[in-house]
Amino acid sequence: MHHISTAKNARRHQQGIALFVVIVFVMLSMLLALWASRTAIFNEMVVGNDADYQRAFEAAQSLIQDAELDIQLTSEPGHRAGKAELPLETSEIGNILNTLNVFPFCKDGLCVKRRGEQDFWNNTTDADASAANNFATSLAQLATADVGARYGEFTGATFKDSSDDEAPHNTILADRSAADRGGWYWIEVLKYATPDSIGGASLIVDDDPAAQPSDLLDLKLNPSVVYRITALAYGLKANSMAVIQETYARTRLQD
């Protein structure tokens, strides 16, 4: 009888250890499943944010192209009628820059050279219009009607699919429900150097009066301005934004 009782106790002891091992494996499996699910959710968030940024980036690229077309259409009759206009002749540059040199230093998507923070899209503090040094305009002050320009506003470009006039081809550009939705662009009109000794706008200006035209790179600009375009597009997610800048020169063909 003593041997039989000892054997039963041993079996119960073995069964207790097996149960403990099973519980440990179940807990480890649960932890692994939880870790896998959290990793999957995190990866989905990263992929979703990246996809949203790519959509906003593509919209900003479209805005850059629209701004370039806006510049190219300057000489077309009726272009920007009643709005701030780009200069057609060198003699017009001064008047246009004087017109734009009033707070917030942009009008209808045209701006003077920015004197405040260059990355104005990161500026959330509005500048005081009455202050002497009021160059640090905020994004909210620039992304507004009659100050910034929307896609197609001056070019007639459409963000809708020609095969279906009711469905927007680009949902980001089509969203104009608020100032912080959709996209905007601004064109800075930058007066270019015109040394009398060279007689044209040059990329590199030499102060040496003996410099020859062949020493410099003539951009053949008429009028002698270049443009810096800033395009900004908001993503569909909160705090998602893409910004592109480029310098653009409207050149003419030489005879």
Two tokens, residue 20 = 């403990």
Instruction: Label the pairing between strands 110-111 and 183-191.
Output: parallel
The most confident of the ranges 36-40, 62-66, 133-137 is: 62-66
- Give the number of other CB atoms < 10 A from CB of residue 113: 13
Give Cα separations from 185 to 67, 77, 243, 245 (angstroms): 7, 22, 10, 10
- For range 208-220, the mean pLDDT: 61
pLDDT digits (tens, 9 = 90+) for 39-80: 777 666 655 688 889 999 999 999 999 999 999 998 888 899
Q: What is the pLDDT of residue 138?
A: 93
Q: Is the pLDDT reported for residue 252 higher than 70?
A: no
> How open is the CA angle 138-68-86, to the nearest 5 degrees?
75
DSSP state of 113: P
Q: Is the pLDDT reported for residue 242 higher than 60?
A: yes
- For range 216-226, the mean pLDDT: 74
Q: Is the pLDDT reported for residue 197 higher than 50?
A: no
Give Cα separations from 73 to 155, 181, 183 (angstroms): 8, 26, 21
Give Cα separations from 195 to 151, 190, 191 (angstroms): 36, 16, 12
d(CA 221, CA 253) in angstroms, rounded, equals 10
Percent pLDDT > 70 in the chain is 74
d(CA 80, CA 153) in angstroms, rounded, equals 9
Query: Any idea which residue has 């259409």 for tokens?
Result: 73
Q: Is the pLDDT reported for residue 18 higher than 50?
A: yes
DSSP state of 1: -
d(CA 220, CA 226) in angstroms, rounded, equals 11
